[in-house]
Amino acid sequence: MRIEQDLKLDFVDVLIKPKRSTLCSRKDVDIEREFNFRWADAKWKGIPIIASNMDTIGTIDMAKAMAKRKMLTAVHKFSQIDDWKDPELPSDSIMATTGINDDETRRTFDAIIKKHPEIQWLCIDIANGYTERFVEFIEKIREKHPEKIIVAGNVVTGEMTEQLILAGADIVKVGIGPGSVCTTRRMTGVGYPQLSAVIECADAAHGIGGHIISDGGCIVPGDIPKAFGAGADFVMLGGMLSGHDECMGSIVEIEGKKLMEFYGMSSDTAMMKHFGNVEHYRASEGKTVLVSYRGGVDNTLSELLGGLRSACTYAGAKRLKDLPKCTTFIRVNRQLNDTFRESSEYKVVDTLVAQ
């Protein structure tokens, strides 16, 4: 047993320090980025925000809405071939997702890629990215699809980020336990504060030509620029995009208020829905909640991108790419910051349904 004494921080623990700027308006900020990749012979340009591969978030309808803003969507791994028949499928802005444990989802993943060879993005998603089996699976997918952009995760440490990139991943998903409906930290005692995870994993990835996604932990719009300022190349959102028409959650009405179901992918709800049971050897590591129904996602995207542009102007960054170089974080009183975040209209959980 050993204890690391270094201070580790979450988004709630810091604010971005404002600086003098030559920018006249937030409209002058360029929030698009162009990427090359270590392994894939491909380029991508757009706003590097991704709708999460959760089955209530990563839908084809969400992908179409995100694509209009030049953003990405990781379609969840339980999607079916018929879901991909949409004639307006935004193939250049969509990720096909697979796990490594379920044969049916892997077969569907292979069928989707065969049917849509134009899709460049592949996402290999697993809760615990520290297994040798996961590394071997990435190597196989890279060998089979040398031209594709491969996203893999999740991990939270620099050394494992490097190993996944060297195994064939172009981009590593970073985050264990920070999601609004994830209970991994509470159930297992395992995790890593997200801001520090992003800083350390970004440093490791960039040193060998890779990239990272900050996956989870963004509760209010200001957390998005914090993630980019910490070095994330992409930011993945789940709860902040919940409650919209493009989601697949069931809508209920309680005391005249419309609410939509949202749950973690390791929750009892998700396991019963996709596997019919919760195996005796595992516990739920997610919760099910109801969030306010918010109509179409477009207005929410406008507010999130507006907040990102404004943060760049405060930090003096003319381009999103420059934000890490312009960012100075200030540690803050966590209790006061928690109070602010709890009062935000973007608070995810309105009514708890089940743990």
Q: How far is Cα 305 from Cα 160, in angstroms, rounded to an integer?
A: 31
Question: What angle do helix axes 298-315 and 60-67 make, rounded to 10 degrees?
Answer: 50
Nearest by Cα to 222 from 93, 308, 331, 326: 308
Token digits of residue 45? 């340009």
Q: What angle do CA 330, 331, 334 make, to 5 degrees?
A: 135
Q: Which amino acid is at 181?
A: V
Q: Are 131 and 54 in contact (CB under 8 A)?
A: no
Positive or negative torsion for Cα 288, 293, 298, 304: negative
Catalytic residue among 24, 123, 182, 247: 182
- C-alpha–C-alpha distance, residues 80 and 76, integer Å: 10
Determine whether 312 is an active site residue.
no
Amino acid identity, residue 302?
A: S
Just list the catalytic residues. 182
